[in-house]
A = this chain, B = another copy of it.
């Protein structure tokens, strides 16, 4: 079994296992032992590839946000008009990959721990800042002045985070319902 180059494979196993574990057993039950069981490895092996449990959590968080960033980037590349850019940004936030039940549950649970852990706070802050910056930029291109752009971007960001939260709670259960709500809100702001 022991083969060279296992690190990336194991890290992915552990990240996916953590997400699955939080989703199916809850944050409180997500011990290294439980995570290891979901990942199909032993608890000790996890600590062979990660510094400690916080390292695992950080890796999961980083993974989630880098998926989101990649998704956003891809969609932005084929967007020509300011409005298309906004649609691209918003659709990325509720792409099927991001709002699947297990991913959104894990995001929500981990972000509750973020108030404790500076590294998570930092990632959270950076992501929010990038989202705001992207949206403000597109809104200004669409003719909004600075304060209008800022206010509208804040509203859209609140909507995105609210939809994630409601998806995590199960209050909204269909991913395309979230997409519909977002695009409907955009229509209300940028008639076109």
Distance (Å) between the CB of A8 and the closest chain B CB? 29
Report if A28 contacts B (CB, 8 A).
Answer: yes
Q: Which residue of B lies closest to A54 (CB)?
A: B28
Cross-chain contact B159 with A165 (CB below 8 angstroms): no
| Tally of A interface residues using CB under 8 Å | 44
Q: Is the interface of A mostly helix, strand, loop or mixed?
A: helix
Report if A51 contacts B (CB, 8 A).
Answer: no
Contact with B along A104-117 (1 / 0, CB 8 A): 01001101111111
Report if A160 contacts B (CB, 8 A).
Answer: yes
- Name the B residues within 8 Å of A171 (CB-CB): 124-125, 128, 157
A58 to B36: give the CA distance in the assembly, Å: 30
- Sampled A-B contacts (29; CB under 8 Å): A26-B116, A27-B115, A27-B116, A28-B113, A28-B116, A108-B112, A112-B112, A114-B169, A121-B170, A124-B171, A125-B170, A125-B171, A128-B166, A128-B169, A128-B171, A151-B184, A154-B181, A155-B159, A155-B185, A158-B159, A158-B165, A158-B181, A159-B159, A159-B162, A160-B162, A161-B161, A161-B162, A162-B165, A165-B165
